[in-house]
Amino acid sequence: MDVHGRDLRHFAAVAEALNFTRAAERLFVSQPALSKQIRMLEQQLGAPLFHRDRRAVRLTTVGEALLPHARGMLAAWEDAETAAANGQGVVLPAAGNAPLVARDEVVAVPVRGVSPSRLAVAARRGDERPLVLAYLAAAAAVGAGTAR
């Protein structure tokens, strides 16, 4: 299963608004595109997340169970992105998300040979703190590539 941050953001927006049109406006996407994204997420999960009828949208039991986890993951990603961008330490984003944090003085180094997902270590260039150096050394030990 390959759920992305965008999927969780869209799910959380609909869950909070309990209205696809309002959620789409908040996300700056079209309502049909948002509906399609939610249907695709439901297919990936193998369960409906919302009860839909002409008058209301309500979370299913599965949707209620997923919502706190989705919020937690989105908050954790935002914290990690901010920390990396501000040079506050090291984050381990999925390799495909590394360009989101690699800006200014933040470098992202792909880590190879780590399963089940590919990761990248992101830290501020020239950061000499012991913990940052330890993360970078550990990444090198498992076959990290060169900084981008």
The answer on 18 and 52 residing in a single domain is yes
Query: In this structure, is residue 39 part of a structural domain?
Result: yes
Give yes or no: residues 74 and 99 share one domain: no
pLDDT tens, position by position, 4-62: 889 999 999 999 999 999 999 999 999 999 999 999 999 999 999 999 998 899 999 99
* 70 and 107 share one domain: no
Q: Are residues 94 and 118 in the same domain?
A: yes
Q: What is the pLDDT of residues 96-141, one digit of tens each?
A: 555 555 555 555 655 555 444 555 666 777 777 776 777 777 777 7
Q: Look up the domain containing 27 and give its range.
A: 5-80
Question: What is the C-alpha to C-alpha distance for residues 138 and 115, in angstroms, rounded to an integer?
Answer: 15
Of 31, 29, 13, the residue nearest 21 (C-alpha): 31
If asked whether residues 68 and 131 sit together in one domain, one would say no
Pair (75, 94) in one structural domain: no
- Of 59, 80, 101, which marks where a domain is finished? 80
Is 148 inside a domain boundary? no
Same domain, 9 and 58: yes
Instruction: Give yes or no: residues 39 and 74 share one domain.
Output: yes
Q: Judge if 41 and 108 occupy the same domain.
A: no
pTM: 0.61
Examine the domain organization and report whether 91 and 75 are in the same domain: no
Distances (CA, A) of 131 to 80, 90, 123: 16, 8, 11
